[in-house]
Structures are given as C-alpha cells and as structure tokens.
Amino acid sequence: MNTFTRIVLSAAAGVVLGGVAMWLLSSRETGVETAAEAEREPLYWVAPMDANYRRDQPGKSPMGMDLVPVYEAGTDQDEAGTVRISPTVVNNLGVRTGTVETGRLPGDVSTVGYVQYDEDHLIHLHPRVEGWIEKLHVKAAGDPVRQGDPLYALYSPTLVNAQEELLLGLNRDNPALIRAAEERLLALQVPQEDIDRLRKTREISQTITVTAPKSGVLNQLEVREGMFIRPGMNLMTIAQLEHLWVIGDVFEQQVNLVSEGNPVRIVLDYLPGREWSGQVDYIYPSLNPKTRTAQVRVRVDNPDTLLKQGMFAQLVIATEPGAETLLIPREALIRTGRQARVVLALGDGRFKSVAVEFGRVGQRRVEILSGLNAGDRIVTSAQFLIDSESSKTSDFKRMTGPNQQQEGQGEQGRQQMGRQDHEHQQPDQEAHNHGEHNHD
C-alpha cells in the first residue's frame, strides 16, 4: 500500500467519522431541545455539514443525514437549565416520575454483624505456681468441656511443700498452722476436695488435677503434655455458648440514631424463619477509618447453641422515628462529589435539574431538607441523562449574557443580509461583464 492510498483512506475515514458524529448530534438535537425552540416554528432546515444547503421542510442532506431546523431568535425563552424532551424520547428513555411527599422516615436501622463470644464470660486459666503438665485431658481448641471435668494434672514442688505444711500442722494439732496451710493451698488453686482428702488420708499427692470452673468450649489451648509452665502463662481459655455478642457496623450518619437499650431483631440466612432478639448493650466510641462505620454490641441469649462464633447475621435496630419532613424515592437522588441534585418534571415535556440538601437516607426514601416543595413531580429513572443536558444548557446560558445574545443575533442578521446583497449583486456583475465582452 503506497503513501497516496494511505492518505486517501485516512481522509475517507475522517469524513465518515465526522459524518457519524454530526448525525448523532443532529439526532440528539431532534430528541432533546430547549422549551423555546419547541414552541416556535423553524424558519428553514439546513444540512449539518453544509449551512448553505437549505430547504423549506425536513428531509435529508446530500450526505444522507437529517436536516437541522433553524429557528428565529426570540426572547420568550425558559429559564436556564430547562430542557424539553419529545414524547418519543421520553418513552424510549423509560422516564418515570414520582411525587415529593411529606412524612416520617422509618426509624429502623438495618445493618450486618458477626457473632462473637461474650467476653464477659470468657474464663482464662493461668497457673499460680511453676511446674510440669503431667497429663492433659483436653486435646484441641473447640473441644467441649463441662463444669468439673479434669483439664490437666500438674506436678509442682511448691504444691508438694504446701501439702507438707498442712500435714505438719495436723501432726502438731496446731489450729493456727493448719488454717494458714489450708489458706495457702486454696490461694494456689488447689481444689477443696483435694485438701479434704489430704486431711483424711494424710497422704501427699505428687500431682494436682485442675478442673473446669464452667461449662463451654475451649477457645484457646496453649499447652501440651510435658510442658513446663510458670505463673502468668495463659494455658487455655473457656468460652460459654449460652450468652453471645453480635457486633454490628453502623454508618456514621446513623450512629446518632442508635442508643443503648434499643431492641434488636437478628436473623441468619442459613436459618430462615428463625429470629433472635436482643438489645444494644454498648456503642463503641471510635469509628473505623476505612469503612467509616461505628460498632454496636448486642447481647443475645443462645440457649439452644444454634448461634456459632463467626456467623454472619443481619440486624434490624428499632430506633425512634425522625421528625416529619419531605421524602423522595432513593433512586431519584443524584449524588455527586460536590452537591446533590434532583430532576424536576415541569410538565409538557419540560425538565430541570435543581440542587437539594438531603438528610437521612433510608432503604427506600431520602429526607430532603431544602430545594423541593411538597407535591413537586420528580424524575425517578433516566434522570442522569436529563441532569447532564440540563446542567449543560444552564452553563451555556450563564456564560452568554442578554447583551451578548443580542449582539450574536445582530451579527447573524448582518451576515444573512450580506449574503442576500451578494446574491443580488452577482447577476448585475455578470451582466456588466457580458456587456463588456460584447463591446470588445
């Protein structure tokens, strides 16, 4: 392919793309036009790519594109931002409208949360003496335990010495020494039944068996048989299942609606038809900087232990309903980075985008603080396209003042008169030239 062929193909492609763009523009202008243009009759129709090609009625240009109507400049125009859409385009876009109503936004706050162990009922087991784990009766985290079940057997020289002190007091029949030895054994977490057995049998036990103080499941298990332990080590943690927490996330604009003591309904997807009830126990004082949510804690009774640690739950927090205000459908609100807008339906195919201030956002409706009146008709679908056209029209009209518009209209009239004078002078000039030619 030579250079000449490439140039020809590039030029042809440019003409085609330009024609398509002008066709789209002309199609758009025939669908969305200002209210003032819709009320006036066109003076004539011109080709989109050739303003000298004029016709007295609609049709096609030599390139096959729809002719564009040209209107007489007038002063009876709508306010800035108002656009008119033909009924055909309204139907094709699927434009739906709604009404601004007065009412109260429901006070329920719906959110999600996760089931967790009740930290108020977590039991941490720490040794008070050093020694060795001779026998471990539980094997892994998650194992169930019941109150009184053996957990581990501990050999500790300190416990052996404490038992010998009790035997010494018993042999001497010294009440003060016996009482001091018993108090020391209890302080070292030796069970009372082991102390009673020692007083009865007078035999020292080399290992002491530690039992579960409460029923539940092992949340953590940090030791194994044969390990040497010291005071302060966390050997294991027992969590109870009868009482759980559900930690929910609430958006920051809804935090002020929630108070401690609000009733809460809890449902889970894996158990349809089953519902748990609780109440807000605590509202955490800080927000998550990434999700911009605050956590609320709900205490829930779980007698049948169907709720498990880590389950995903849906929460509905019952709060006080808000004050009476203007309400619109949630889908009618156009939220941008700088402002929120709503498209008004003015009737007769006229629409206008207006700025509004909104308050709380519910599941279906939004509170409107200013910018609308009760009974206004608003667009609830395809409003983004109309809002874009309205904003563009408003910006152009603000940029062009009345004086500039009049000057532009005068300039247009002078150009049209100049073209007419040129058309009248051209035959005279041709006749004059013809005469000179004949004279020669």
Q: What is the full DSSP assignment across 147-158? A: TT-EEEEEE-HH
Name the more confident of 318 and 106: 318
> Could you tell me if 291 and 200 lie in one domain?
no
CA distance 376 to 357: 15
> Could you tell me if 311 and 388 lie in one domain?
no
Domain annotation covers residue 141: yes
pLDDT at 150 over 80: yes
**Contact status, residue 276 vs residue 307, Cβ threshold 8 Å:** yes
> Could you tell me if 224 and 280 lie in one domain?
no
Residue 169 region by backbone torsions, left for phi larger than 0, else alpha for psi between -120 and 50, else beta? alpha
Q: Which domain holds residue 385?
A: 96-104+323-399
Q: Which of 223, 232, 233 is nearest to 134 (CA)?
A: 223
Q: Which pLDDT does position 116 carry in this prediction?
A: 93
What is the band of 46 on the pLDDT scale with cuts at 50, 70, 90? confident
Domain annotation covers residue 412: no
Domain annotation covers residue 436: no
Last residue of a domain, one of 189, 218, 238: 238
Q: Which pLDDT does position 392 carry in this prediction?
A: 53
CA distance 405 to 77: 12
Query: In CATH, what number is assigned to the domain containing residue 292?
Result: 2.40.30.170
Q: Which pLDDT does position 386 carry in this prediction?
A: 72
What is the band of 163 on the pLDDT scale with cuts at 50, 70, 90? very high
> Could you tell me if 232 and 142 lie in one domain?
yes
CA distance 9 to 3: 10
Joined together, the tokens standing for residue 21 give 């763009």
> Could you tell me if 311 and 385 lie in one domain?
no
Residue 162 sits at φ, ψ, to 5 deg, of: -65, -35
Beta strands in 42-199 (DSSP E): 44-47, 50-55, 68-70, 82-85, 96-99, 101-103, 109-117, 123-125, 131-136, 144-145, 150-155
No. of helices (H) and no. of strands (E), the chain: 8, 27
The structural domain count of the chain equals 4
> Could you tell me if 222 and 147 lie in one domain?
yes
Domain annotation covers residue 198: yes
> Could you tell me if 273 and 306 lie in one domain?
yes
Domain annotation covers residue 195: yes
Joined together, the tokens standing for residue 55 give 């016709």
pLDDT digits (tens, 9 = 90+) for 305-338: 888 888 999 999 988 777 788 999 988 898 877 8
